[in-house]
């Protein structure tokens, strides 16, 4: 791992490690993710379509980072009310200084405890966030709670990463319930790993939360992000989840 992003604090405290990583890399955060540009633009373009489809008037971006997604959507749909929630002050500062977001558009907060009442936003989004949190289901619960019309999630599917054999083995281990044990062993007991390009991350599959979303009364639409084959769970390294409340519909058709 690069010396400039090597954790210097308590490595047994994942929250502290994560905060330190993003503070150190804030100035180059966007450039470091240049390899994912196509995926980000693809997801944001889909997101723009959802904004139009549900006739959204407000949007909450959970884990907004430097405000990239909000800035993109504002350039296309400036009448929306945008709020991004981001726990790292250095990233929020970049959003204001570089992305020119208003301070009320990028606020401090934690996705697992959103400081908003139920149904506060038409659309709630999280792009590449859930594999960085220890309890994704808690964040998803909060997103569903504060959403009035829909939720948009784009994230990784660790099962769909690797060669054909690795993907099938991981899929079987996850379905059998053995993957959490294997994952703890392979990460030396931590349950997470730290890398230059992605900071602190957990072994996560966006498919984990589909049942939770459906049980909350949302209609789920799924789209793969790359990969090959016809079984997204096994073959796609990432996926987009578009979840709409049953009462949400397009009035323009």
Grouping H, G, I as helix, E, B as strand and the rest as coil, residue 148 is strand
Nearest to 222 by CA among 41, 46, 86, 16: 46
Report pLDDT for 167: 87
- The full set of domains in the chain, from first to last, is 3-245 (3.40.50.150)
Report pLDDT for 147: 99
Report pLDDT for 230: 67
From CA 179, how far away is CA 7, in angstroms rounded?
27
Cβ burial 18-50 (10 Å sphere, 16+ → b, else e): bbbbbebbbeebbeebeebeebbebbbebbeeb
Report pLDDT for 151: 99
The pair of structure tokens assigned to 203 is 């072994």
From CA 187, how far away is CA 193, in angstroms rounded?
6
Report pLDDT for 7: 53
| Regions of the chain with pLDDT less than 50 | 1-4, 248, 250-253
Report pLDDT for 231: 77
Cβ burial 121-153 (10 Å sphere, 16+ → b, else e): bbbbbbbbbbbbbeebeebbbbbbebbbbbbbb
Report pLDDT for 95: 97
From CA 59, how far away is CA 151, in angstroms rounded?
10
What values do phi and psi take at 247, rounded to 5? -80, -10
DSSP assignment string, 95-143: HHHTS---GGGEE--BTTB-SS-TT-EEEEEEES-GGGSS-HHHHHHHH
């Amino acid at each position: 791992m690069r010396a400039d992003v090597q954790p210097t604090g308590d490595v047994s405290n994942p929250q502290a490690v994560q905060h330190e990583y993003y503070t150190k890399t804030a100035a180059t955060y966007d450039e470091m993710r240049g390899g994912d540009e196509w995926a980000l633009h693809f997801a944001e373009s889909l997101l723009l379509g959802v904004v139009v489809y549900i006739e959204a008037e407000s949007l909450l971006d959970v884990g907004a980072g430097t405000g990239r997604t909000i800035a993109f959507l504002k350039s296309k749909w400036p009448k929306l009310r945008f709020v991004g929630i981001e726990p790292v002050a250095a990233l929020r500062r970049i959003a204001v200084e570089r992305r020119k977001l208003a301070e009320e558009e990028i606020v401090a907060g934690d996705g697992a405890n959103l400081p908003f009442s139920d149904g506060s936003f038409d659309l709630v989004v999280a792009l590449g966030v859930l594999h960085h949190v220890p309890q994704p289901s808690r964040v998803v619960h909060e997103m569903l709670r504060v959403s009035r019309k829909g939720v948009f999630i784009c994230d990784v599917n660790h099962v769909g990463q690797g060669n054909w054999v690795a993907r099938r083995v991981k899929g079987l281990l996850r379905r059998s319930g053995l993957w959490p044990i294997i994952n703890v062993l392979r990460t030396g007991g931590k349950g997470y790993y730290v890398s230059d390009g992605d900071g602190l991350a957990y072994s996560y599959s966006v498919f984990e939360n589909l049942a939770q979303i459906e049980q909350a009364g949302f209609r789920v639409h799924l789209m793969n992000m790359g990969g090959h084959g016809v079984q997204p769970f096994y073959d796609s390294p990432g996926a987009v989840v578009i979840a709409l409340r049953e009462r949400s519909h397009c009035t323009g058709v």
